[in-house]
Amino acid sequence: MKSLKTIGALGKVAGTVLEGGKYAKTLECLREEGKTEDEIAFIYELEQYWSGEVLDRFGWKAEVEGAENLPGSGPVVVISNHQSYVDIPAIMNVMPFQVGFVAKAELGKIPVFSKWITRTRGLLIDRGDARSSLKTISEGAELVKQGFSMCIFPEGTRSRGPVPGEFKAGSLKLATKARCPVLPVTISGTYRLYEETGNIRENQSFRVVIHPVMETAGLSRKELAELPKKVEEIIISEL
C-alpha cells in the first residue's frame, strides 16, 4: 500500500496538471484555427511550466550532459530509455522545444493525465494490437511532418531499474516515416525517485545524456534497417 506521503505527492502532480488545464481553450482554438506555429510555442510554454513545477516541488534535479547536442528547434523525434514516471517531465524540462509523447494506452484511462497527453499533441498507443500501433505511429509521423516534435520510449514500458527492457525496432518508424532527425537520450537514475521503493524520494538528482542528432533523410534501406540497433547501442552506452 502506498504511504500517505506518496499519495499526497501524487496529488501534487495531479494538481499541476489541473493548473495547466486552465489553458485548454487556448490550445483548442489554436488547433482549430490551424495556427500550428503558435500552438507549438504555447505547448512548449505549458510543458516548461508543468515540468518545472513537478521537479521543483520534489526537489528533483536533472544533471544534463551533452547539452551542446540539443537542436535549437524541432521537429525531431526523441528516442529514450524509460526507467520511471519521472522521465516524461524530465525530458520536457530539458528540451528547448515542444515534445509530444507516445504513451501507453492505459494512461488514457486516467482522466486528468489523458487530457494532458492529447492536448500537448501526445498519442496513446496500444502495443498489444499491432494494427492499432502502426496506425498510431503513422499519426505521429504526420504530426512530425507538421512541425511537432515527438518522444517515444522503445521499451514500451518502464524498466523500473537500471537494466533496460527490449527495444522495439518499430518505434523508430515514427522518425523514419517522417524522414525526421532522431535525438537519442539516455536517462539514468530516475527509477530511484519512486520505482525502486514504491515511495517518492525527494531532493534527488538524476542524469540526462543528450547524444548527437542522427539524420534519417537520405538513408538507404540497409541503413534504415540498421538504425534501431545503432540508436539502442548509443542509449545503452551511457547506462
pLDDT in tens, 161-184: 999 999 999 999 999 999 999 999
7 — pLDDT class (breaks 50, 70, 90): very low
DSSP 203: S
Please give the residue that has the higher pLDDT: either 10 or 53: 53
Q: Is the pLDDT reported for residue 93 higher than 90?
A: yes
- Helices 4-20, 111-119: crossing angle, 10 deg rounding: 40
Q: Which is higher by pLDDT, 13 or 90? A: 90
Alpha-carbon separation of residue 236 from 42, 167, 223 (angstroms) = 33, 10, 20
**Is residue 117 exposed (0-12), middle (13-18) or buried (19+ Cβ within 10 Å)?**
buried
Q: Using one digit for the tens of pLDDT, what is the confidence trace for 201-215?
A: 999 999 999 999 999
DSSP assignment string, 52-82: HHHHHHHT-EEEEE-GGG--SS---EEEE--
Q: Please report, for residues 21, 37, 44, the alpha-carbon distance to residue 104 in angstroms, rounded to integers and kept in the order given.
A: 21, 27, 22
Sorted by sequence, the CB contacts under 8 Å of residue 80 that are 6+ apart come out as: 87, 91, 151, 153, 184, 185, 186, 187, 235
